[in-house]
Amino acid sequence: MRRGNALPCGPVGRLGRRGPLGAAVCGLAVLGALLGPAGTAQAAGTAAGAADDDGDRDGLVMVLDSSGSMAGARMTAARQAVGAVVDALPDGYPTGLRVYGAGKEHGCDDTRLLEAVRPLDRDALKQAVAGVRPKGDTPIGLSLQKAAADLPEGGRRTIVLVSDGEDTCGAPEPCEVAARLAGQGADLRIDTIGFQVRGGAREQLECIAAAGHGSYYDAPDSASLVRQLTRASRLSADAYRLQGRRVTGGSAAPGAPALSPGQYTDDIGAGETRWYAVTLDAASTADLAVTAVPRPGVGAAYGDGVELRLAGTGRYPLTCGSDSAHFGQDEGAMVVGGAVSRIPSDDRDGACDKAGRYVLSVHRTSAAGSDRARWPLELRYGTERPFAAGATPAPAATRYGDPPAALTGAPYDVEGGTGFNDARRLGTGIWRDTLLPGQTRFYKVRVGWGQRLTYSADFANEPLLQGGSTASSFVATAAYGPGRQPLGDASGASQRRGYYGRPLSVGLGTVPVTWTNRWVAGGSARGARTAGEHYVAVSLGPGAAGLARNAAVRVVLRVDVAGTELAGPEYGAPARGGGSGAGDTDTTAAGAAADGGGFMTASDAVAAAAGGAVALAGVGTVVLLGRRRRDGA
């Protein structure tokens, strides 16, 4: 079985081979309800290692040009930009500020750390930048060296350099410094912002970003400086939150490390293949999902991505599953992922049904001109027990359904997760979020036996930059089951479309979740085989930075879970708990507590508004940028 499976940007879906969705899904999909002997939900595979997270060691340091050329209006604009950024960053995100050229009129050693990288202190950062008085030289190379040392060890480390000119000191040479720092590990990214620059200054800043596995942002005026610094900083803070136990894949099948059910992290270089081994029994379903997390927006080619293959290990190893997930666009890298499954055949007589050792290979394809940084990988291995002996499963549900839900009403503001691990829980309702260019947001929706998920992601008119009407990008979406297996569309909806800042919609509708869907050959039913948390990913292409006037673009999600939930997957199963019918799903306060993050349905939000909370109507004016969590949001 082969299917393109790049996350929504390249799709959280399958942008891969089918167009520019190139990129998206990520994160932990905890294996959902699995059938036990009495028809109850049981998980046979655990998420071992899923709590291991380096996110608390992430960090961002802004490096601000304070040389003589930044005096006057330029420094005023820089102060405003830094203030906007610190207001937009999440509470507690480790952030620091370094300046150069503000200590003395001449000196190539003039760089100072004004605010150490520590949990975000908005007032301290604003006060620090307010006191900067530009006067001196431009030692960019030295400042980059110092900034790298300012950041914590481990985790995602980002330097964002803002400059209105090129280095005036010459040694150390900035591009060489960036390349050397980036070569020391897979965790450092250097973005650059050119404030009213051209010629040699712009070329140098572009060189630094390329060598530092980052992106260059052009800021010809004060408004664009705010927009670009916000984008660069927010993409750092909202980067995919990897979780899992660290493992190093083998360079060949014989040296593949043995994995038990759980979640793991690794990394992979351009053109490299990693190998992992699993021991399977003769009856359980096994899902192996891989998410690759390149730095968003860095150089990428249409065919870049990952290819997965699950095979036996006998004398004549047979391929039991394969998948390929490519960006399918050349705007820039995004999260990309694939999944393979070993599903024992109904008669238990298939060549891949035997118990024993199997190996998963993950190969990374990268064009010669693409960014060469190593990509972090997140691997999830889950198993699902066989159907209860003596019971009869309900028949497969392969019929096509209605298009995504056309729900109406006022949306409720939410903030999607960075990946599977922190996906935002939603129920039936209308929800509003924002997406940065190059970003994918993740959401999770509980879908029970016999139910089907439908949703749309609607983009409204977006204010365009001058000249932005000639730019273009894409929006994309994809959905995944509890084991991160991709879900096919059964509603005729579009999962990826070109984006020009004008209204459009992408979405997906599944068939009802049925145990026997796993044996359906082809079509859209095969993935809809396990009840539990399902995942929705929505992506905005990196190219949207060339058309959108706001730092982030608005999107409204209309989510519906249709059908009566059944008590189990067996034939003739009754409604769950005497369920109330269509849309019956877990949208209770207990769900919110389990999620640990303020879960509400849209109807809950309206009720809360009547009690004194703020009701947010329509798509309205862009909301950006503050992404601070709110009580109940």
Contacts of 80 (CB under 8 A, 6+ apart): 222, 226
Q: What are φ and ψ of residue 207, in 5° steps?
A: -65, -45
Q: Which of 313, 291, 353 is nearest to 485 (CA)?
A: 291
pLDDT at position 632 is 31
The string of pLDDT tens digits covering residues 98-116 is: 999 998 999 999 999 999 9
Share of the chain above pLDDT 90, in %: 72
Q: Which of 207-216, 282-291, 339-348, 591-600 has the lowest mean pLDDT?
A: 591-600
Q: How far apart are CA 147 and CA 494, in angstroms?
A: 44
Residue 229 identity: L
Q: CA 456, 461, 466 angle in degrees (round to 5)?
A: 140
**pLDDT at residue 443 greater than cutoff 50:** yes
Say how many Å lie between the first and final Cα of the chain, rounded.
40
Over residues 474-495, the mean pLDDT reads 94
Q: Which of 297, 377, 295 is nearest to 329 (CA)?
A: 297
pLDDT at position 56 is 55
Query: pLDDT-based confidence at 155, cuts 50/70/90?
Result: confident
- Compute the radius of gyration of the chain from its Cα atoms: 25
Mean pLDDT score of the chain: 84
**pLDDT at residue 332 greater than cutoff 60:** yes
Long-range contacts of 468-471 (CB under 8 A, 24+ apart): 468/501, 468/546, 468/547, 468/548, 468/549, 469/500, 469/501, 469/547, 471/500, 471/543, 471/546, 471/547
Whether residue 192 contacts residue 214, with contact meaning beta carbons closer than 8 Å, is answered with: yes
Instruction: Say how many residues make up the chain.
Output: 633
Q: CA 547, 548, 552 angle in degrees (round to 5)?
A: 145
In the numeric block, which tokens belong to residue 521? 């050959």
**pLDDT at residue 11 greater than cutoff 80:** no
**pLDDT at residue 452 greater than cutoff 70:** yes
The string of pLDDT tens digits covering residues 128-154 is: 999 999 999 999 999 999 999 999 987
pLDDT at position 52 is 52
Query: pLDDT-based confidence at 455, cuts 50/70/90?
Result: very high
Q: How far apart are CA 580 and CA 575, in angstroms?
A: 8
Beta-sheet strand order (sheet of 262-268): 245-246, 262-268, 375-384, 285-292, 336-342
Count the neighbouring beta carbons within 10 Å of the beta carbon of residue 401: 20
Residue 142 identity: L
Q: Which of 64, 63, 201, 68 is nearest to 136 (CA)?
A: 68
Query: pLDDT-based confidence at 50, cuts 50/70/90?
Result: very low
Count the neighbouring beta carbons within 10 Å of the beta carbon of residue 80: 16
Between the CA atoms of 230, 231, 237 and 243, what dihedral angle is there, to the nearest 10 degrees? 170
Q: Which residue has the tokens 């990008």?
A: 473
Half-sphere exposure of 404 (CA within 13 A, CB side): 23
DSSP code of residue 39: S
Count the neighbouring beta carbons within 10 Å of the beta carbon of residue 178: 28
**pLDDT at residue 280 greater than cutoff 60:** yes
Contacts of 218 (CB under 8 A, 6+ apart): 193, 194, 197, 202, 224, 228
Strand pairing partners for 379?
264, 290
Q: HEC states along 67-105? A: EHHHCCHHHHHHHHHHHHHHHHCCCCCCEEEEEECCCCC
Diameter over CA atoms, the chain: 85
Query: pLDDT-based confidence at 7, cuts 50/70/90?
Result: low
Query: pLDDT-based confidence at 405, cuts 50/70/90?
Result: low
In the numeric block, which tokens belong to residue 406? 């056309």
Contacts of 86 (CB under 8 A, 6+ apart): 95, 120, 122, 125, 126
The string of pLDDT tens digits covering residues 558-586 is: 999 999 999 999 999 999 974 433 333 33
pLDDT at position 554 is 97
Over residues 332-345, the mean pLDDT reads 94
Q: Which of 81, 171, 90, 40 is nearest to 626 (CA)?
A: 90
Q: How far apart are CA 362 and CA 377, in angstroms?
A: 10
Over residues 154-178, the mean pLDDT reads 94
Q: Where are the alpha helices (DSSP H) in 361-432?
A: none
Contacts of 40 (CB under 8 A, 6+ apart): 568
In the numeric block, which tokens belong to residue 282? 């003769």
Over residues 250-260, the mean pLDDT reads 97
Query: pLDDT-based confidence at 521, cuts 50/70/90?
Result: confident
DSSP code of residue 568: S
pLDDT at position 126 is 97
**pLDDT at residue 617 greater than cutoff 70:** no
Q: Which of 37-46, 167-176, 447-456, 464-473 has the lowest mean pLDDT?
A: 37-46
Query: pLDDT-based confidence at 296, cuts 50/70/90?
Result: very high
Share of the chain above pLDDT 70, in %: 81
pLDDT at position 408 is 87
Residue 32 gets the label, from left (phi > 0), alpha (psi -120 to 50) or beta, of beta
pLDDT at position 142 is 98
Q: Which of 625, 229, 622 is nearest to 464 (CA)?
A: 622
Q: Which of 329, 53, 17, 366 is nearest to 213 (CA)?
A: 366
